[in-house]
């Protein structure tokens, strides 16, 4: 099975200024640090303030991939802070992620700065133009676009930096962070007072060639605006919600765990994008071999690996056993767990329900999956690679809805298309 070339995971949507303004959503509620975690920051007069001698790193609980971030900031004399991009949540954010300088360039102690240390620069990687920054005590506006490998910084209406992350990664092969394409957004403090307000984000999902997929017979399962065509049990919490044409689950557990199509399907092909938008706990899980068995050590003990536990999936025809796993186990996404562990199934069925290889992109980046269901046979490709071929699900009903399963971690879906075969 081949992934059709009519859909490109690398394509990014182009939005007009009016669409951008309408699509931005708050990252900071102006009242407290809900959605953020770190030390040495407080909320004062509707702004996040890095406290003198205390402020270090403050990061979003969620992770992001391609986005436009818009925020206001105010510097005090000598302020040194930074904006962490694709920060993994550990280590020095200037190296494990990337740091855009937030700095009072005029301070006497910074008179011997290197070019890449001035405000707006990518620390050690790329220098920004030395213009546009207002005097200490005045509010500045900054917009940072991180779209795939392209980064742009606009300060008070003036473009001060453009950079290609792929090119920078080639020039700086030892820099870990410049190779990342997802992670937390963070303020990287150095114990100096700095204030931040009006923090808004516009996430940019991968773009599908709508004319192409329609011509190929696909129809939208998710309209990008709301949950029309989907249903779920709710306890009043909006754990599933739509933002920036992305179908998101917060990661909170509750009755809103699983989302189901109102339509039912017999034979179909489904294409969709997905990414992990939060983090999971580190756990030891089995190492699964391509034949569906668990790896064993020479002494016969079962081999496990410590992984970041991330778990979701797609239910086929209303049947929870016929679930295509999206997860971070060593065998990769696409596994049909309910059949692989079923002792009633033959070794051949178990092997066919185990991914041939792990084709997942790094955690936090967008993946594209295609699922083909004909009779009781399932084929799956992930990021253009066939991972499941001719798996037989002998207990799968002949017809039923498609479900998106949630299992306790934040996840995003986009560009969900289906074709009845």
| pLDDT-derived band at 65, boundaries 50, 70, 90 | very high
If we measure between CA atoms, which residue out of 153, 44, 418 comes closest to residue 265?
A: 418
Burial (CB count within 10 angstroms: exposed 0-12, middle 13-18, buried 19+), residue 176: middle
- The answer to whether the CB of 88 falls within 8 A of the CB of 176 is no
The predicted pLDDT at position 22 comes to 62
User: What average pLDDT is seen over the chain?
Assistant: 93
Read off the pLDDT of each residue in 8-13 and give the average, rounded to a whole number. Answer: 33
Read off the pLDDT of each residue in 275-294 and give the average, rounded to a whole number. Answer: 96
The predicted pLDDT at position 207 comes to 83
Domain locations along the chain = 31-203, 209-420
Matching fold, domains 31-203 and 209-420: yes
Would you say residue 261 has pLDDT above 80?
yes
Distance CA 171, CA 166 (A): 9
For 302, 331, 365, the CA distances from 305, given in Å and listed in that order, are 10, 11, 22
The predicted pLDDT at position 209 comes to 82
The predicted pLDDT at position 32 comes to 98
Read off the pLDDT of each residue in 131-137 and give the average, rounded to a whole number. Answer: 96
The predicted pLDDT at position 235 comes to 78
The predicted pLDDT at position 17 comes to 57
- The answer to whether the CB of 276 falls within 8 A of the CB of 310 is yes
Half-sphere exposure of 1 (CA within 13 A, CB side): 25
Beta strand 403-406 with 206-208: parallel, antiparallel or unpaired? unpaired
Read off the pLDDT of each residue in 278-305 and give the average, rounded to a whole number. Answer: 96
The predicted pLDDT at position 103 comes to 97
Helix intervals (H) in 113-222: 165-171, 210-215
Place of tokens 């767990």: 337
Would you say residue 2 has pLDDT above 50?
no
Q: What six digits make up the tokens of 130?
A: 């030395």
Read off the pLDDT of each residue in 383-411 and give the average, rounded to a whole number. Answer: 96
| pLDDT-derived band at 256, boundaries 50, 70, 90 | confident
Output the CA torsion sign for 336, 342, 344, 347.
Answer: positive
- The answer to whether the CB of 143 falls within 8 A of the CB of 166 is no
Distance CA 30, CA 357 (A): 45
19 SS3 class: helix
Would you say residue 5 has pLDDT above 70?
no
The predicted pLDDT at position 23 comes to 79
The predicted pLDDT at position 356 comes to 97
The predicted pLDDT at position 9 comes to 29
| pLDDT-derived band at 281, boundaries 50, 70, 90 | very high
Considering the domain 209-420, what is its CATH architecture?
Answer: Sandwich (2.60)
Percent of the chain with pLDDT over 90: 89
Would you say residue 149 has pLDDT above 70?
yes
pLDDT tens digits for range 173-209: 999 999 999 999 999 999 999 999 999 999 999 987 8
pLDDT tens digits for range 346-366: 999 999 999 999 999 999 999
Read off the pLDDT of each residue in 400-416 and give the average, rounded to a whole number. Answer: 95
Distance CA 311, CA 257 (A): 12
The predicted pLDDT at position 254 comes to 75
If we measure between CA atoms, which residue out of 282, 311, 281, 307 comes closest to residue 405?
A: 311
Read off the pLDDT of each residue in 65-76 and give the average, rounded to a whole number. Answer: 97
The predicted pLDDT at position 305 comes to 97
Read off the pLDDT of each residue in 129-142 and give the average, rounded to a whole number. Answer: 97
Q: What is the CATH code for 31-203? A: 2.60.120.560
pLDDT tens digits for range 320-330: 999 999 999 99
Distance CA 286, CA 298 (A): 16
| pLDDT-derived band at 8, boundaries 50, 70, 90 | very low
| pLDDT-derived band at 3, boundaries 50, 70, 90 | very low
Would you say residue 319 has pLDDT above 90?
yes
| pLDDT-derived band at 16, boundaries 50, 70, 90 | low
What secondary structure does DSSP assign to 246-271, as a single string? EEEE-S--STT--EEESS-BSSEEEE
Burial (CB count within 10 angstroms: exposed 0-12, middle 13-18, buried 19+), residue 290: exposed
Read off the pLDDT of each residue in 310-338 and give the average, rounded to a whole number. Answer: 97
pLDDT tens digits for range 73-101: 999 999 999 999 999 999 999 999 999 99
CA angle 215, 419, 333 (to 5 degrees): 120
């Amino acid at each position: 099975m081949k992934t059709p070339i009519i859909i490109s995971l690398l394509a990014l949507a182009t939005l007009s200024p009016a669409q951008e303004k309408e699509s931005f959503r708050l990252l900071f509620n102006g009242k407290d640090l809900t959605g953020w975690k770190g030390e040495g920051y407080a909320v004062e007069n509707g702004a996040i303030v890095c406290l003198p001698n205390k402020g270090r790193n403050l990061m979003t609980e969620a992770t992001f991939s391609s986005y436009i971030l818009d925020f206001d900031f105010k510097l005090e004399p000598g302020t040194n802070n930074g904006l962490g991009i694709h920060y993994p949540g550990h280590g020095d954010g200037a190296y494990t992620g990337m740091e855009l300088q937030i700095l009072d360039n005029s301070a006497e102690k910074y008179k011997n700065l290197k070019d890449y240390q001035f405000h707006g620069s990518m620390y050690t990687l790329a220098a920004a133009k030395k213009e546009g920054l207002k005097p200490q005590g005045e509010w500045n506006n900054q917009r940072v676009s991180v779209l795939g490998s392209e980064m742009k910084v606009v300060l008070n209406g003036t473009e001060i930096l453009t950079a290609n992350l792929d090119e920078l990664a080639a020039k700086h092969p030892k820099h870990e962070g410049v190779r990342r394409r997802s992670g937390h957004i963070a303020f990287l403090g150095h114990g100096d007072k700095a204030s931040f307000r009006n923090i808004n984000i516009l996430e940019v999902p991968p773009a599908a060639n709508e004319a192409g997929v329609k011509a190929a017979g696909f129809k939208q399962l998710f309209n990008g605006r709301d949950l029309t065509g989907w249903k779920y049990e709710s306890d009043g919490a909006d754990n599933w919600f739509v933002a920036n044409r992305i179908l998101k689950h917060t990661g909170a557990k509750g009755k809103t765990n699983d989302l189901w199509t109102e339509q039912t399907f017999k034979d179909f092909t489904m294409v969709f994008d997905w990414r992990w938008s939060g983090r999971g706990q580190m756990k030891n899980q089995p190492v699964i071999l391509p034949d569906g068995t668990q790896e064993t050590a020479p002494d016969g003990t079962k081999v496990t690996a410590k992984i970041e536990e991330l778990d979701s999936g797609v239910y086929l025809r209303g049947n929870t056993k016929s679930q295509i796993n999206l997860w971070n186990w060593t065998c990769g996404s696409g596994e049909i767990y309910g059949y692989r562990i079923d002792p009633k199934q033959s070794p051949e069925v178990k092997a066919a329900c185990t991914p041939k290889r792990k084709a997942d992109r790094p955690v936090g980046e967008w993946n594209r999956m295609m699922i083909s269901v004909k009779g009781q046979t399932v084929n799956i490709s992930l990021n253009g690679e066939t991972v499941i071929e001719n798996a037989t699900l002998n207990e799968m009903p002949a017809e039923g809805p498609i479900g998106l399963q949630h299992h306790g971690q934040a996840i995003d879906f986009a560009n969900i298309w289906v074709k009845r075969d």
